[in-house]
Structures are given as C-alpha cells and as structure tokens.
Structure 1
Amino acid sequence: MSLFSDNIRNLRVQHKISQEKLSESLGITRGRYVKYEDGTSEAPYEILKKIAHYYHISIDLLLSVDVRKIPLDDLLQLENNRLVLPITVDNRGENFIEVVTQKVKAGYLNGYADPEYIESLQQISLPFLGSGKHRGFPVEGDSMPPHVDGSIIVGRYVERLGDVKDGKTYILITKSEGMVYKRLNKNKKNVLFVESDNSFYPVYEVKVSDILEIWEFVCNIGLTDEKQQVTETASVKDLFLELKRDINNLKFKL
C-alpha cells in the first residue's frame, strides 16, 4: 500500500466520509475509488486533482507526506488550493522565520513541503517584517552584490505568480536548479527572465512549470561590514559623467 493510499484513507476517516459519498463527489464509481484506497490501482492526474480540491490539500502533500503527522490547522492554505504551506508559530500565534542554513540547504528541495523538515529548521523572530510568511535562505557566490557568501536573505512567500514584479529580487525554488537568488528581468506568461546584479552573469529564463516556490526579498542578514568595492563598470560610468560635465562647462565658457 502506498503513502497516497494511506493518506486518502486516513483523510476520509478523519472527515467521517463514506466511500460511496466520496466516490460520488469525485464522479467515479465506488469500486474504482476503492482500488486507489487499497493501493491496487494508481489514480490519474485528474482524480488526484479532484481529491486534492475535495480535502483542500496540495497534491504534493498527498503524494509525499504522511498526513497523519500534520495538524491540519497548522497548514497555511493558499487560494485556489495551489499549495498548502507548512508553518510554525510561537506561543502568541505569530509565525516563526525558519532559516535554511547552508548545512541543510541541500535537503530543502525534498523537504520544503514536509512539516517535519520545516519544524527541524533553525528559527528566529523579526517583528518588524509585518504580515506574510517569511523564511531565510543562504547566499552563495558573487552574483548578487552586496550580498556575500554567508549572508541570509529573508523572503516573504509569494502566493500568486501574478504578484511578482519586474526589477525586484526573489528567492526561486526550482526543480532543475534548486535554490537561486536573482532579480526579475522580465515577467511573461509561462516564463520568467532573471538576472544577476553582477553583469558578468548572463540573463536566463526559468519556466513557470519548473518553479516550486517564490520568496520576495524583504531584508538581508549580513555577516560583514566591509566597504563595497567600486566595480570597474561604475568607475567607467563616473569617468564619462565627469567628462560630460567638463564638456558642458567648456561650452558655457565659450
């Protein structure tokens, strides 16, 4: 018997629903539904989607997480049933900020929807952030100055893809590349074009179907107070501006 079979049986029992009533709501026969619940047949995508909508829980959780371990009241339910996000709260009911450290970063792609994994992350509280669900992610490399290796980007969870805006920076959790922090260059219907603030790295596209989560930049927790070095590009720009001022002054004198 699969985890999915266990989940749909436990959810049905928990909600005190008969197999007859559930199968009728799904638009299938009881005999067909029983095969999904006892694990002798795999449910097609359309049935998975109907079951997820019926219980207001994501397909991802139905397939990969033992729902018996999840207090359903501790799930952040998003509109259109697009995702159910596990959250942790303090004794005042306010959301903790889970921090994905460099040490546990590799496991996030598999654990982002697992409440046990999320609960195991280090937690902090930053009361000035305001409303929304926040999480901290580590910075790597030199592609997004002034953020350096070891810094933590705190992001606010983006519920709807339509809320992302050109020019803002986001933590993207994708199936193919894992966790990346980039600036949105262009937002199209089925693809996002993203870029690094370091012009050395080229713009590239991320397919919407490849995206698991998006977190919008809110603040940076840095580990250095070093003065940012002036880049060669900035120096050349300053040189041209100074030359332009000199030319204008010369014209004025003439």
Structure 2
Amino acid sequence: MIDYQGEKFKEFLKSKNIGASKAAEILGVSRQTVYQYFKSTSLERETVSNILSKFQTSEEDVFGINRQTVIRPIHQNARDLGDATIYDEEGLNKFVEISPGRYRMGVELVPVYAQAGYLSGYMDQQYLEELPKHYITVDKFVKGNYKAFEISGDSMDNGSIKDALPHGTIVTCREVKRELWTSKFHTHEWPNWIIVHKTEGIVAKQIAKQNLETGTLTLRSLNPDKDRYPDFEIKLDDCVQIFNVVKRELK
C-alpha cells in the first residue's frame, strides 16, 4: 500500500513558494484542513486526486513516489517515508537517521521573542509551523510532545555545571500529559521543569514541593539570591502545560 505523506505535500508547496492560505484557496478547502494534510501520514486517495488535479502535477513530483513504490514499516515505533525521514506512530516527532543507531530529531523552538505569544498560540498550528526548529541527536525513537525553549534571565543559574540553566540556554523538554498531574512528578529523575502558566507565562523552575490534596506546586529557583528569587506556589489548575527538561545546551 502506498502512503501519501502530508509532509511531502508541504515540501512541494514550499518548493513552489505557495503558502497554506494560497494552497487552501486552490484546493477549495480551509487553511486548517491544509495544516491537517501536513500532519497526515497517509492522505486519502480523494485528497491526493484533488491535489494532483488542482496543481496539475504528478504523484512523483509531489510525493516522490510512483505506483510501484511501497513504503514499509522499518521499526515498531516508526514509519519510513521513503527517504531518511522517519516519524513516530503518533506523527509528532520527526527523525533523520545520520548513522546506524543515531538519529537527528527536530522539535519546535520557542525563543525568548516568541514566548509572549506562546500562551495563545500553543494550540495554533500556524503559530507552531512558524516557530524555528531545534535539533538534537538521539539513539532511539521517542514518543510524546517535545518542545525546546530558550532560557531568559539568571533565576536558574547557580554557577553549577550540573543543573544550572543560564541565560540563553536551550532546553529540550517532554510534555507531561495533564491526566498524569494527579500523580507525583518525577523530580528526582528530572530536576528542571518548564511550566506554561496562565498568568506567569513560561517559567523555568525546579519543583520543591507537590501537594496532591490541594493541587499545588511550590516552585524554586536555583539562584541562591532568595530575596530576588523566593520560592512561590502555583495551582495546577492555572497551568496550561508542564514539561520536564530532558536535555540542555548551554550558550
């Protein structure tokens, strides 16, 4: 069976300098539908026919395949796209094999200048598409929602090489699903966290305490100046997303 990958369609549009809005107009669909096409790992045949007809092109030009091309799974947690690009089963994470057993993984990066808009845009596919990408090297396929954030300020800088997050550090993080917030966070395994808060914005902290009964977290800065950076408490109900930091790259 041939899989018509949405990522290939996205690359085709990019090569033609056609944006999502223009593509939606050409195809007679909404812009949101076009973004859904981009994320699809197997477009419907009717959709493919519409793309080929409206853009007056061929399967090979758009998808890089012909009818004799068969795309086979190469890993239980991944799907081969017919080239070096691999997606996990959920279609969230993209990997490029750079050597046997080593993969380049790309995630959206939320730099300091974009953090003010993240709270309103984190569910907006267009906003996420426009974010720059950050790449890390991994030795296995990973699942989950990963994002990278740029650290601003010195609240998480204690001069330690072990856990400090100095200004300009890029942290790659994995989201903790909301249904898991009622359990204890694994703070011993993951000391640093990114909290997306309704009023505080994007906050990099350590979790000093978690009260399951009241649904609150006590957050702590690494900076030893507690006059400037005292511990403070937040309610989980006021959090939008919670990420544990899995990798950091110092500036």
Q: TM-score range by the shorter chain?
A: 0.5 to 0.7
Residue 139 and residue 129 in structure 1: after superposition, are their counterparts in 2 closer, same or farther (change >3 A)? farther
Residue 87 and residue 116 in structure 1: after superposition, are their counterparts in 2 closer, same or farther (change >3 A)? farther
1:122-146 deviation per Cα after TM superposition (whole angstroms, max 9, x unaligned): 1133132751332111111111113
Find the counterpart in structure 1 of residue 82 from structure 2. Answer: none
Dislocated runs of 4+, deviation >6 Å: none
In the aligned structure 2, how far is the partner of 1:187 from the partner of 1:157? 17
Please give the secondary structure, in 2, of the residue aligned with 1:213: strand
Find the counterpart in structure 2 of residue 252 from structure 1. Answer: none
Q: Out of 181, 187, 207, which is 2:210 matched to? A: 187
Residue 186 and residue 114 in structure 1: after superposition, are their counterparts in 2 closer, same or farther (change >3 A)? same
In the aligned structure 2, how far is the partner of 1:67 from the partner of 1:89? 21
Q: Contact 2:105–2:137 at 8 Å: present in 1 too?
A: no
Residue 166 and residue 222 in structure 1: after superposition, are their counterparts in 2 closer, same or farther (change >3 A)? closer
In the aligned structure 1, how far is the partner of 2:173 from the partner of 2:184? 14
Give the Å deviation of 1:148: 1.8
The 5 Å alignment of 1:188-203 reads 188-189=211-212, 190-199=215-224, 200=226, 201-203=229-231
The 5 Å alignment of 1:101-250 reads 101-128=111-138, 130=140, 131-132=142-143, 133-145=145-157, 146-159=164-177, 160-161=180-181, 162=183, 164-167=185-188, 168-189=191-212, 190-199=215-224, 200=226, 201-223=229-251
1:15-44 deviation per Cα after TM superposition (whole angstroms, max 9, x unaligned): xxxxxxxxxxxxxxxxxxxxxxxxxxxxxx
1:125-179 deviation per Cα after TM superposition (whole angstroms, max 9, x unaligned): 3132751332111111111113222111111111122362345221000101000
What residue ranges of structure 1 are gaps of 5+ in the alignment?
1-65, 76-84, 224-254
1:88-135 deviation per Cα after TM superposition (whole angstroms, max 9, x unaligned): 64678x963111112212111111111111111111331327513321
In the aligned structure 1, how far is the partner of 2:174 from the partner of 2:239? 16
Q: For 2:185, give the aligned amino acid.
A: V
Please give the secondary structure, in 2, of the residue aligned with 1:71: helix
Which one has the bigger helix percentage? 1
Which one has the bigger strand percentage? 2
Q: Higher Cα Rg: structure 1 or 2?
A: 1
Higher relative contact order (CA 8 A, sep 6+): 2
In the aligned structure 2, how far is the partner of 1:91 from the partner of 1:109? 30
In the aligned structure 1, how far is the partner of 2:106 from the partner of 2:194? 18
Q: Provide the identity percentage.
A: 26
What residue ranges of structure 2 are gaps of 5+ in the alignment?
1-30, 41-89, 98-103, 158-163
Structure-2-length-normalised TM-score: 0.52
Residue 74 and residue 122 in structure 1: after superposition, are their counterparts in 2 closer, same or farther (change >3 A)? same
Q: Does 1:71 align with 2:15?
A: no
Q: Aligned-residue CA RMSD in angstroms? A: 3.0
